[in-house]
Structure 1
Amino acid sequence: MTDVTRTAAQLKYVQGGVGSVVRSITSKFQDGLNVRDFGAQCDGSTDDSAAFQAAVNATGSTGMIAADGPCVVNTAPVLGKKNIYWNFGPNIAIKGRQTAFPRMFTNHGIPAVGPWIQSQSPVVSPAGDAYSAFSVETLPPTTLAGGVISIFAGTNLTGNGKDAIATAQNLVATAQNGSSGNIWGQEIDVGMFAPTGTGTQFGLSLNGLGTGNPTFGVKIDRSDKSKWQFGLDIRNAQVGVNIENTSGMNNALVAGTIPTIFAGTTAMIGQMANGGSALILQRYTNTAPGGYLIKAINANNTEQLFSVDIGGQTFAKSLAASGTVSHGAQEIDKSYSYNTPSSGQVVTMAADSETAIIDPASTLAALTVTLPACTPAHDGSIARYSSTRTISALTVNSASGTVSNMPTTLAAGAGHASLCRGANTTWYPLY
């Protein structure tokens, strides 16, 4: 009988394709290693640290190492400058005292499983400012009429486990203790070099299939010990947030503690805490301010219904169908001031005041009434005043702007009103 025993070094391997070359069996087997080749037990009790490190040491500058089962790794393997593709089986469970291997965990502390690439490549990206562990590029034909997907990741949840969690994609970016710099869980760059009007571009598009109603399109959450400084930060956008009722949306925005959510209400905002404010509106500048804090208009944008300008002046259009004002639409002035001046004094109407009641103890020989500022932002504002006693010499001026043809006396029980024309910042008498 002929002895055909051969050592691994004597056996050769040829891939068989055009251009393939002869390699030793040993070299071929080293393309993919298994920690069990180096003595790992993966029985849940034996420390397999040495076997994991030996497998890394036996791998070239890049290679694949397989492992499966409950492996105890008390000392994390040191990769050096190598790139390792860990082919973890479905029964993998890395246990042990160390916390650096595997390094990736979800927000619930679940370690990453399945194929896992640890890359320490010295090759930077074409942009010259980043390293990449895994790159995918799809080059569609120029005649493409449908869609193209570079990476398709999904999961399919079956069964009736009420606590089951199926995640199609879990991205983990970890800043270790002592590290510095910026960290992104995911960066999506949309390179737009085509002229406008060639289609719609999305940084992120959330849609799906089925007849059920998923709970959240986007959920921003963290643990009780760590909070996001900003849940959502939008910059350099023509429109920060655009919400349209295109599919039977009941509410566009619900914020705070809202006991009852009313369908058909665009926004419902409640206090976050007792003593706080549900809504604060702040004007842009205090130097020559203009515009409105609140403005309500009709459906075709032809008529103003209600407004609060940046000076706090309010305007409300009566909803009565005729010239008679019903009680429900009755004007209520909560900004009036009550004044008891002496002769020669000045009654100054505040910026947010519409009415000044003057109630002197007796007839006044002279009095000055200063109307609120009249600016373009106050166009249409009304200021009025009345006196219970005669004012023999009345002077009317304005905190800002000018006045035109104002009365010089005021009889007992009489009053006057003026309207601000913002175009020339002038108060004009009404009566």
Structure 2
Amino acid sequence: MTFEQMWTDLSPVGRSSTSGGYFRQPWESAELELRAWFREAAKARDLEIEEDPFGNLVAWWGFEARSARTSTTGKSVLTGSHLDSVLDGGAYDGPLGVVSAFAAVDVMRERGVVPTRPLGVAAFVEEEGSRFGRACLGSRLAVGAASWDDARELTDRDGVRLGDVIEGGTSTILEGVDTYVELHVEQGRALIDHDTAVGVASGIWPHGRWRYDVAGRADHAGTTRMEDRADPMLTFAMTALAANKQARLSGQRATFGRIDVRPNGTNAVPSHVTAWLDARAESSPALATLTAAIERQASERAERDGTQVTVTRESISGEVVFDAALRDLIGAGVPVLPTQAGHDAGILQDAGIRSAMLFVRNPSGVSHSPEETAETADCLAGVTALADALTGLVT
């Protein structure tokens, strides 16, 4: 099955008929359909499927791989990405890496490659955090960077607990893995500027998510004078503007992309606003300075508005520097790019599994949006680069 045919098979799954974007949230119908596709793709290649208690999938090639990958004869190599999407997201973020991994296995077999180490194609679950609010949750649980006791209590927007969706437990899916290579669509414009199809990552900016709870007083939108209100929406609005200003002044990133308003009535002053801040910066000190400035301005505004602000850090990931030797091995002659986006590769690198990332050019420069795209010729160049890299690692 060619790359093009696999991509054609996946393209309709979870796609909105109105926006053209994708809704592939973990353990819901579209994502479950993609997981079934993953199993069929593995079966068609006689790859051995392994699934951990959290839903992470690996299809193994070589040596009756399940037993061989933990033996003393050699360490395993992993490639792949994720299948879930953000709400109304693009087609390529995640699935491109999984489809390219299967296509790279096909290329290697056509070349007559006989691996001397087990090679796995991975699909990590809940990478985007779009359902249960924790980015890279599957890979964090797999490496032990997140505990199941905490994760099982996470709830989605409908109040469904993660512990009621999956059984959970302890993962051994990464035992014996010492190298991970992830291919991903570029989520920016650097490869456009370099006029090249493929690049390699140097590292990932530190980033995190903070929940802002702003409490005020519900009141009548018509009869309550402006000066008599304790309106949490005003506090939030000024906080969002402050985040934008602080990020622009420092060259960092700050985004309020999700908000929940209570009671959410057109003719009522709200009583409570909950908003989630996504903040990213070029270093950990820069991230701390940025988020402290935003919180300070929120508190100052709340004092003027007669509201109360509570800030809760929900998750944070430190700076990741990918393995330099591995980066140079797989990325010889291509541009080296930093990335501001989080990835499973960053979680594995932090856990001691040497990791690297290949990027494929996105001619729109847009990601987490229906406008995200990639040209087939560039995708095939990415498959070749990934096959070359994996061949060098398993032979």
TM band (smaller chain)? under 0.3
Which has more helix, going by share of residues? 2
> If you compute each CA radius of gyration, which structure gives the higher value, 1 or 2?
1
Larger RCO (CA under 8 A, 6+ residues apart): 2
Per the normalisation by structure 1, the TM-score is 0.17
